[in-house]
Amino acid sequence: MFDTLSLASLPPADEAIRPAIRALAATAASAADTDERARSWQGYDPAFSRRLGEAGFLGLTLPKRYGGHERGPFARFVVVEELLGLGAPVAAHWIADRQSAPLILNFGNEAQRQSYLPRIARGEIFFCIGMSEPGSGSDLASVRTRADRTETGWRVNGQKIWTSGAPHCDYMIALLRTSGGPDDRHAGLSQLIIDLKVPGVTIRPIRDLAGDEHFAEVFFEDVDLPADALIGEEGEGWKQVTAELAFERSGPERIYSSVVLLDAWIAHLRGVGRDDAATRALVGDATARLGVLRAMSIACTARLAAGESPVTEASLVKDLGTAFEQQLPVLIGDDLASHPDEAVAADLYRALLYVTHVAPSFSLRGGTREILRGIIARGMGLR
């Protein structure tokens, strides 16, 4: 497997966009405290998303005829790295730009591409994804929410849960059962685009330990959709969603969830003048691991740029990357606690508290550790 994960570099043409996106991200992050910037994934700012669209930083990989910029995955890597590294708010456009647009481009019909993709590239419409269901966790093949054919299209009944950003989104791309039952597993699943403002849709936010309402449960009661809500082929939903998750698992976002906290801690160490050998070793270990993970993520991006779908390699990056993201708040918390005489800024404490609370979710979103390790084992021929 590692023969397919070779070291790669970001092309100079893609590195060249870094100053512009860094400057734009800095405008959004400059007025925020550290704990607010640590919420980059959950930061909802539709005006900032529209500014990204106006500046050409959304829809980077889409064809120009759909409002995109015909850049490759490397350009997107640079943009995401800068946004998360500075802690800019990305929640509004995140799913639409990262997953929904590539899915619609690859599996949608021409009318769907013309309708949705230009608006996504302009930062005008936002999507969420409906996969998890109560009692199913990450076992997506056990989906029970159904879409049944009617004379005019589809009727949806059921429930999704842990849906990121649903209260703020315009549309959901949902994985639904259009034939058979849960025992059929991968067969009979399809993806439909659901307008979240149509009658029969109820969205209830879920408050997490940090007091935020990023997740939601979404109920569907006799929700009527037009025939063209189906995206791709009926019954091919599992194949499509597997490809969609490859977009989600391989990017730099799987290593940078705690990076604002890491930067703030290093700034604290500089501020108090702590430079002993043990501290240098601790910082060196964290930054070296981050460097290795970044290199692996760039190697996955190179596979995507070559037109491949590195499902196994992306799962490996996500598993190792989220483990690193979860270990950072423990490492930093232990370090600060072992130096009780140092004055620590209040926003660093708040950022540490927030990241510590949400860190368990890092290995849940986008596929649990157990699911990923099953994929990795299969990719290595171990199962």
Q: What DSSP string runs through 268-282?
A: HHHHHT---HHHHHH
- Phi, psi dihedrals of residue 137, rounded to the nearest 5°: 60, -130
Active site residue 217: no
> How many residues are listed for the chain in this entry?
383
Instruction: Match 């639904």 to its residue by tokens.
Output: 176
Q: Which of 337, 306, 349, 335 is nearest to 72 (CA)?
A: 306
The secondary element (H helix, E strand) that includes residue 219 is strand 215-226
Residues 6+ apart with CB under 8 A from 341: none
CA distances from 75 to 14, 26, 255 (A): 5, 18, 17
Distance (Å, whole) CA 174 – CA 193:
6
Residues 6+ apart with CB under 8 A from 135: 142
Distance (Å, whole) CA 111 – CA 119:
13
Tell me the two tokens of residue 190. 């399809």
CA distances from 335 to 82, 186, 219, 247, 341 (A): 27, 47, 44, 35, 12
Distance (Å, whole) CA 303 – CA 317:
13
Distance (Å, whole) CA 131 – CA 143:
8
Q: How many CB atoms lie within 10 A of CB 207?
A: 10
Query: What's the start-to-end Cα distance of the chain, in Å?
Result: 14
CA dihedral (357, 359, 365, 367) positive or negative: negative
Report helix, strand or coil for 114. Answer: helix
Residue 262 and residue 336 in contact, taking contact as beta carbons nearer than 8 Å: no
Which one of the listed residues 36, 133, 217, 248 is annotated catalytic?
248
Active site (catalytic) residues: 248
